[in-house]
Amino acid sequence: MSVAPAPEPTTRAARKERTRQTLLDTALELSGDRSFAGISLREVTRQAGIVPTAFYRHFGSMEELGVALAADTMRVLRGLLRDARRNPGPANARDSLAVLVREVRAHERAFRFLARERYGGQPTVAHAITTELRLLTSELAVDLARTPGLSDWDVDDLEMAADLLVTAVLEVVLELLAVDRPGGAAEAEVVARGEKQMRLIMLGMAAWKPRRA
């Protein structure tokens, strides 16, 4: 599994960074079964193998760690979209969703954290996630603007459609996370439904009047 058995960083700064990452990873892991607000500073440090007070060498509070975690996990999502933009893209709902399922499974904890804290978390954490998500929607809107059939669309309408697409995709992600057995029939059902929903939205977009009279 592990690429290198034990890198064991030598420089002090590197050691500090490693501990910081350990804290972030541990917090992400612990928030797998309860909300982020429900995990304590002591618990994180205990699991991470340091003493409680050493926590403050890295973060001023649990809330600060939460915000950092939100930014960190959002990078995953953004990277996903960036990759999708780079290669020509399937433009096919079925293939896109297959990619999505793979990514969700690969970063399950990260997605779970985002889903949990988007509405449930401390205001600062929730706000950080919402902001990043809005940014992601805007980027998608820009992509849509480049799509052949939509070049003459209103900017507001593009945002609206992008928002709907993101919402629908996120819903699929959330349902994927709720599925018990990753490879099972329930998952296939969720994916099939999501695929239809994407197709339905695209049909709607095709019928949409680009600009009002």
Partner DNA sequence: TCTGTCAGTGCACAGTCGTGCACTGAACTC
Partner DNA sequence: GAGTTCAGTGCACGACTGTGCACTGACAGA
Q: Is 66 in the site for a second copy (CB under 8 A)?
A: no
Region near DNA per CB under 7 A, out of 40-48, 93-101, 105-113, 136-144 = 40-48
User: Cα separation of 89 and 95, whole Å?
Assistant: 9
- With CB under 7 A as the contact rule, the residue among 51, 135, 178, 188 that binds DNA is 51
Count of residues touching DNA (by CB under 7 A): 23
Non-local (6+) Cβ contacts of 90 within 8 A are: 96, 99
Q: Is 167 in the site for a second copy (CB under 8 A)?
A: yes
DSSP secondary structure code for residue 54 in this structure: G
Site string for a second copy, 138-157 (x = CB under 8 A): ------------------xx
- With CB under 7 A as the contact rule, the residue among 25, 43, 175, 187 that binds DNA is 43
User: Cα separation of 148 and 54, whole Å?
Assistant: 55
Q: Is 37 in the site for a second copy (CB under 8 A)?
A: yes
Count of residues touching a second copy (by CB under 8 A): 39
- With CB under 8 A as the contact rule, the residue among 3, 119, 211, 213 that binds a second copy is 119
Q: Residue 98's closest CA among 204, 199, 195, 202?
A: 195
Q: Is 208 in the site for a second copy (CB under 8 A)?
A: yes
Q: What residues between 2 and 31 interact with DNA by CB under 7 A?
A: 10-13, 15-16, 19
User: Cα separation of 26 and 156, whole Å?
Assistant: 41
Q: Is 147 in the site for DNA (CB under 7 A)?
A: no
Output the six-digit token pair for 202: 């695209």
Query: What is the number of other CB atoms lying within 10 angstroms of the CB of residue 209?
Result: 9
3-class DSSP string for 58-103: CCCCHHHHHHHHHHHHHHHHHHHHHHHHHCCCCCCHHHHHHHHHHH
Q: Between residues 19 and 121, which has the closer beta carbon with respect to a second copy?
A: 121
Could you tell me if 93 and 198 are in contact, meaning their C-beta atoms sit under 8 angstroms apart?
A: yes
Non-local (6+) Cβ contacts of 203 within 8 A are: none
- Smallest distance, Å, CB 175 to a second copy? 9
Q: Is 58 in the site for DNA (CB under 7 A)?
A: yes
Region near DNA per CB under 7 A, out of 35-43, 70-78, 131-139, 179-187 = 35-43
The footprint of a second copy (CB under 8 A) covers 33-35, 37-38, 115-123, 130, 156-157, 159-161, 163-164, 167-168, 171, 174, 178, 193, 196-197, 200-208
